[in-house]
A and B are shown apart, each in its own frame.
Chain A
């Protein structure tokens, strides 16, 4: 099936496949780690057992998701070298140290305190345990900061020179780290992670509200999730708009593809709501559009001229159809999230937040929507910057390892098979954990994974003190 594929396209498919799987887990664990820290903090502050029960419930799910994130992340850290060695050689001096800082400041922090968080409740005091949880949460945010800095630099490179062997040489680290698109991208991604987690937590709460299991715990998590949706979804739409304006400034071609502007519009551009991109004929078929609105959104002026893809050479154009569609999927989900948030506010005002089954059904259906939106957003930004790896400077075609297509094809097939088996099983276990909100604070000891969930009877004080002589 791979006869028509060369090494470059196979390596691109492999990267897209492995990173799409990978991004799911950080998107979830960034939000969940913060949620866990909030739950444990609330428990220590209010001494209400419900927060501790929710903490233990979500901690187990976090452990599975985090494990999947770790193993899929290790793959990413070596794939730069196996499939994209020329890129590694050339861009390594700039992006390598940023990723090095990610390992030094974030990965070790998460890994070091994860063990204490998952297994150490009986071994350290409540304060230290909360500290460990907070360190894990902070670690995930630091990690996001560095990796978004790397990605942003590849999109809007700054602060470098190119040396005689073609390497990017760092000149000004401040400009590299805080490159022009970094603040927008970081904000947009972290909020996306929080929203994604809020909708998962909300869906689990809604599921248990609909079934009537553990109404108190389900109610608390549902209410927390709906506050998050109501407050953060509008912020995300504003952040997305700001990010779009930044992209127009630094990567105008990407915006042309997102908007579907094949033609230039000297007298003000329409906003194309829907349509079928026809890349052969270079137009949008069956377009439903609102005149001049695109100019108003992007330039805040109804009659501002906007360039189209006709100003760009064909070989510097990104694949328009993919970018056009993925962008619309992301935006549609964003507005749907806003709708759920407003619906929840209305129910809350009427005092029926925990009784309105229509709200619960909608929240349940919206549970996985954050993952779809995150993937669609990444596809928009990553496909939209093609044909470059380092925007404007290094072509994707010139970044690849001197590698044979069969080797990439074989490893691609291996990754596909292994990922579907391993992460499929993990998703199944997570869904099963979510469905089993325990009725009692102390779960049946024969029922599942109490060992690493840590919901175990407290150890007797001094029980094993004598064995710690060394």
Chain B
């Protein structure tokens, strides 16, 4: 049997995007929750909890985009013009948020401005990532290797809803991260947010799941046709299981558990989306085989990815390990 390179690469790209969503998800979540923690020392602590890792987290976004260009150039060339405005707005949001990590410490007078840049940038980036996801799921028309829809096609009630849903979900990741990384009053407040956002996230996933199948006949068929209908029943049960784990972790003071279960919710939601539109990479216009680069491109990069991705995971894990455990607010940093 010949090796199905586009299929392998679809898996790697999917992994990179999932890694991005959960990793940058929690540090964007910190930015989203920033205004709800008014004290300066709380903000300092929150920012320091992600300062050593945010840059690495965001690199997965570059791998997602760069990887798409490398292995599915036609998908890259048709998706990005279709979501032109959300992508530009997301990038502008990420600019403000990214520089706030350094600028905030460089000024007393303008500190509050960079606090708002951090929050505003995080909210805008998260919301428009959700909008872009919604626009992708609702379908992108392609004719003659080019995007053939209008410039405002991305803007629909569905994409606005997915934008809000992602904002809520990232907020949950941020809140459970704080529960895990902090102590005392700040952690107690984070628990209240985590509790509420967990229910809101699951509700948003419910709305998304009931809405999606009616967007495209292909999705409806996938969700309620055999054998995939099995997943349509198992996934919601597992989502409820994650919710229970988050709530019980928050009640019993097991501070790592809610964060892990919140990651679980994201993995499940992500799998659900993947199941809906596989094997399309540009729903419902291009499959992964139609959009794939020639095998000579796929195999060249695969050799490196097979060796390098495990190495990256190792030293990324090491970097997290160096900064493990609860933050000590008395220390000069962290």
Q: Which residues of chain A have a CB within 8 Å of any CB of chain B?
A: 63-64, 67-68, 70-75, 77-78, 80-82, 85-86, 88-97, 99-105, 107-116, 118-120, 123-124, 163, 165, 167, 169-171, 173, 401-404, 407, 411, 414-415, 418, 422, 425-426, 429, 432-433, 448-454, 456-457, 459, 463-464, 467-468, 470
Extra A-B contacts (11), CB below 8 Å, given A75-B91, A113-B315, A407-B84? A88-B80, A96-B293, A104-B312, A105-B308, A111-B56, A167-B294, A170-B300, A402-B81, A414-B88, A451-B44, A452-B333
B297 partner, pick from A94, A165, A407, beta carbons under 8 A: A94
Nearest B residue to A81 by beta-carbon distance?
B80
Given A82-B80, A96-B69, A120-B322, check contact A170 B296 (CB 8 Å). Answer: yes
- Chain B residues contacting A81 (CB-CB under 8 Å) are 65, 69, 76-77, 79-81, 87
Q: Are B74 and A468 neighbours in the complex by a CB distance under 8 Å? A: no
Nearest Cβ on chain B to A93's Cβ, whole angstroms: 4
- Interface positions of B from 91 to 116, Cβ below 8 Å from A: 91-92, 94-96, 98-99, 101-103, 105-107, 110
Q: Are B66 and A99 in contact (CB under 8 A)?
A: yes
Q: How far is the CA of A113 from the CA of B56 in the complex (A)?
A: 9
B304 interface residue per 8 A CB criterion: yes
- Return the contact of A101 from the options B102, B110, B301 (Cβ within 8 A): B301
> On chain B, which size bracket covers the interface?
35 or more
In whole angstroms, what is the CA distance A74 to B54 when docked? 14
Q: Please, which residues of chain B bring their CB within 8 A of the CB of A93? A: 70, 73, 293-294, 296-297
The distance in angstroms between the C-alpha atoms of A330 and B276, with both chains bound, is 55
CA distance A456 to B48 in the complex (A): 14
Q: Is the CB of B297 within 8 A of A96?
A: yes
Contacts of B98 on A, CB cut-off 8 Å?
67, 70-71, 74
A58 vs B329: C-alpha distance in the bound complex, in angstroms? 26
Please report which residues of chain B, range 271-324, place their CB below 8 angstroms from some CB of chain A when the two chains form the complex: 293-294, 296-297, 300-301, 304-305, 308-309, 312, 315-316, 318-319, 322-324
- The answer to whether A108 and B56 have CB atoms under 8 Å apart is yes
Note all chain B residues with C-beta closer than 8 A to A108.
56, 59, 63, 308, 312, 315-316
Q: Are A74 and B94 in contact (CB under 8 A)?
A: yes
Minimum CB–CB distance for B105 against chain A, Å: 3
Stretch from B144-152, B155-163, B165-173, B230-238 contacting the other chain: B144-152
A111 and B59: CB pair below 8 A? yes
| Contact between B319 and A96, CB atoms less than 8 A apart | no
> Mind listing 30 A-B residue pairs with CB under 8 Å?
A64-B103, A68-B99, A71-B99, A80-B69, A80-B76, A81-B80, A86-B77, A93-B294, A96-B71, A100-B70, A100-B304, A108-B59, A108-B63, A111-B56, A114-B55, A115-B51, A115-B55, A115-B323, A167-B293, A169-B294, A401-B80, A403-B81, A407-B151, A411-B84, A418-B92, A450-B333, A456-B331, A463-B331, A464-B325, A470-B256
Q: How far, in whole Å, are A407 and B85 apart by their CA atoms in the complex?
A: 8
**What residues on A are CB-neighbors of B84 within 8 Å?**
82, 403, 407, 411
Q: Which residues of A contact B88 (CB under 8 A)?
A: 82, 411, 414
A74 to B304, CA, bound (A): 22
Tell me the minimal C-beta distance from B24 to chain A in angstroms: 11
Chain A binding surface, main DSSP class: helix
Interface residue from A77, A101, A113 paired with B319 (Cβ < 8 Å): A113
Q: Kindly name the residue among A70, A118, A403, A449 whose own CB sees the greatest number of chain B CB atoms within 10 A.
A: A70
Whether, in the assembled complex, B229 has its beta carbon less than 8 Å from a beta carbon of chain A, the answer is no
> B106 touches which one: A82, A86, A411, A448 (CB < 8 A)?
A448
For B73, B308, B318, the residue with the greatest tally of chain A CB atoms inside 10 Å of its CB is B73
Write the chain A residue with the least CB distance to B97. A71
Residues of B within 8 A of A163 (CB): 294
Which chain B positions have C-beta within 8 A of A86?
Answer: 77, 146
- The 4 lowest CB-CB distance pairs between A and B, nearest first, are A92-B73, A456-B332, A96-B70, A81-B80
CB-CB under 8 A from B55, the residues of chain A are 67, 70, 110-111, 114-115
Bound Cα distance A402, B322 (Å): 47
Q: Is the CB of A451 within 8 A of B48?
A: yes
Given contacts A64-B106, A67-B99, contact A89 B58 (CB under 8 A): no
Quick check: is B14 within 8 A (CB to CB) of the other chain?
no
Cβ–Cβ contact B332 & A467, under 8 A? no
B146 touches A85 (CB 8 A): yes
Cβ A104 vs Cβ B107 within 8 A: no
B62 contacts chain A at the CB level, 8 A cutoff: yes
Task: Tell me if B67 counts as interface (CB < 8 A to partner A).
Answer: yes
Q: Are B325 and A88 in contact (CB under 8 A)?
A: no
Residues of B within 8 A of A112 (CB): 56, 312, 315-316, 318-319
Q: Which of A85, A105, A169, A401 is within 8 Å of B296, CB to CB?
A: A169
- B70 and A452 within 8 A (CB): no
**Shortest CB–CB separation between residue A75 and chain B, in angstroms?**
5
Q: Which of B56, B102, B146 contacts A115 (CB 8 A)?
A: B56
Nearest-neighbour CB distance to chain A for B135, whole angstroms, equals 14
